[in-house]
């Protein structure tokens, strides 16, 4: 099994991902939000690459069963029902709903990789479940880190390293690219206390300054969800593995 890590989606075009198996990570906060929303009963997540497209497609869907969520520079967008805090996506809010999601980094990374053969969504919340499924799938794959401001982010890279670490525990034939080895090394060096690591990243500090300390605590919790979010027909749903 060959594993590569892409530190940002910026330098790749959509066709790069064609036919590949991709795992998208945006710890702070899009993939954490997606995992929690689906865990709490959301019917599906529809990721979009722009605010304008989010508003456009929402007009063609059933309003009572659809919510628009997302953020720009950490803040909820005017007119949206939800922001990008995973804690907003409670069962009583999202159960049975379709959620159109735009975020500064994460939803753009997902839509960039929409031509993948397989696309999974990973966070610290479900990293072990994703690792176990990838081993059962037994395909080469690439980890796509959403990054921040079109550059590498520590938290996404470290989460990618954690995913690799969990795979190495249960699969003895793993071939790592240089970036995958670097991600693994970062997790070993900085990943022992995930919440503290998140607080000390560039993105984490911005979230703290804007009052999202509880989001950081939640996003730093490991393996509390056993779901596999999977992109199919441009929507993310829970993959049924049985």
pLDDT digits (tens, 9 = 90+) for 169-208: 999 999 999 999 999 999 999 999 999 999 999 999 999 9
Q: How high does pLDDT run on average in the chain?
A: 95
**How many Cα neighbours within 13 Å face the side chain of 211?**
2
Q: Is 198 left (phi over 0), alpha (psi -120 to 50) or beta?
A: alpha
Tokens 């890279």 -> residue = 157
The beta-strand segments (E) located in 74-225 are 75-76, 98-102, 118-122, 141-145, 175-176
Nearest to 203 by CA among 37, 110, 74, 91: 74
Confidence at residue 61, expressed as pLDDT on a 0 to 100 scale: 63
Contact 26, 15 (CB under 8 A): no
Taking only the tens place, the pLDDT of each residue in 56-97 is: 888 766 556 899 999 988 999 999 999 999 999 999 999 999
Taking only the tens place, the pLDDT of each residue in 136-178 is: 999 999 999 999 988 999 999 999 999 999 999 999 999 999 9
Give the percent of the chain with pLDDT over 70.
98
Confidence at residue 58, expressed as pLDDT on a 0 to 100 scale: 80
Q: CATH code for 2-238?
A: 3.90.1560.10
User: Looking at the DSSP assignment, which residues form a beta bridge with residue 44?
Assistant: 98
Confidence at residue 242, expressed as pLDDT on a 0 to 100 scale: 63
Domain chopping of the chain, boundaries: 2-238
């Amino acid at each position: 099994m060959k594993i590569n890590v892409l530190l940002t989606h910026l330098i790749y075009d959509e066709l790069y991902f064609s036919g590949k198996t991709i795992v998208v990570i945006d710890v702070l906060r899009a993939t954490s939000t997606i995992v929690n929303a689906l865990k709490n009963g959301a019917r599906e997540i529809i990721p979009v690459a722009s605010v304008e497209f989010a508003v456009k497609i929402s007009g063609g869907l059933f309003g009572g069963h659809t919510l628009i969520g997302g953020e720009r520079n950490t803040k909820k967008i005017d007119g949206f029902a939800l922001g990008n805090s995973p804690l907003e996506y409670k069962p009583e809010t999202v159960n049975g709903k379709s959620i159109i999601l735009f975020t500064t980094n994460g939803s753009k990374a997902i839509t960039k990789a929409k031509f993948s053969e397989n696309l999974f969504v990973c966070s610290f919340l479900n990293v072990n479940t994703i690792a176990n499924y990838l081993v059962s799938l037994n395909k080469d794959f690439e980890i796509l880190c959403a990054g921040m401001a079109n550059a590498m982010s520590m938290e996404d890279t470290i989460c990618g390293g954690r995913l690799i670490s969990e795979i190495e525990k249960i699969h003895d034939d793993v071939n790592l690219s240089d970036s995958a080895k670097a991600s693994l090394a970062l997790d070993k060096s900085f990943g022992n206390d995930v919440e503290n690591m998140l607080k000390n990243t560039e993105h984490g500090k911005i979230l703290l300054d804007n009052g999202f300390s509880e989001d950081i605590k939640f996003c730093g919790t490991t393996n509390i969800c056993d779901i596999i979010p999977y992109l199919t027909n441009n929507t993310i749903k829970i993959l049924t593995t049985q």
